[in-house]
Amino acid sequence: MTTLYLVGHQPGYSPQISSLVGMLDYARFTTLHAVKDFSLEQLDFVPNGLNNSVAMLLAHMAAVEECYQVLTFENRDLTRPEYEAMKYPLDLGAEAAQHLRDQPLEHYLHELERVRNKTLEEFSKRDDAWLLEPLPCPWEEGAQWTRLFQWFHVMEDELNHRGQIRLIRKLLPS
């Protein structure tokens, strides 16, 4: 029996974190389904009028999650060397296209899994008070945000790019 649809019933997590983990798991499930059996050529294909390949988007998903691990679990911004190591997948675009290619699907799936495993391990060490703590929002004076919002953004980013992946799949050459 699958527990994929039982958001809020993830053992080992506080109630709110359990719900978040369930939603992150489902988002990832749909992403993995969208790229199932992609060849190297399909991963690196950039359709006319678009800027990113599926490979770039998968690398971006892993990098965004890793960036938010630092932001939320370590309560700090990326260091310059950390940013430089993730520059291409975070920024995407033409320059990134030269670097984020020629890797099989397994490479990207491994990175997504590696990063997610750390996220889940760190979530298991925290509680709902940590997740829901109001913190100063860096881009709006006087505004606050929570770590739940930050992780919602990670999921939102993945779902947005999963939509792009589905579009690219439809535009693949026969």
Please tell me the distance from the alpha carbon of residue 102 to that of residue 51, in angstroms, as a whole number.
17
On whether the CB atoms of residues 51 and 45 are closer than 8 A, the answer is no
Q: Which residues of the chain have pLDDT under 70?
A: 1-2
- Position 118 scores a pLDDT of 98
- Position 127 scores a pLDDT of 97
Please tell me the distance from the alpha carbon of residue 98 to that of residue 61, in angstroms, as a whole number.
18
- Position 1 scores a pLDDT of 53
Q: What are the residues whose beta carbons fall under 8 Å from the beta carbon of 89, sequence distance 6 or more?
A: 56, 59, 60, 62, 63, 96, 100
Going along the chain from its start, the domains and CATH numbers come out as: 15-171 (1.20.120.450)
On whether the CB atoms of residues 157 and 59 are closer than 8 A, the answer is no
50-90: per-residue pLDDT in tens? 889 999 999 999 999 999 999 999 999 999 999 999 999 99
- Position 2 scores a pLDDT of 65
Structure tokens at 74: 């370590």
How close are the terminal C-alpha atoms of the chain, in Å?
Answer: 36
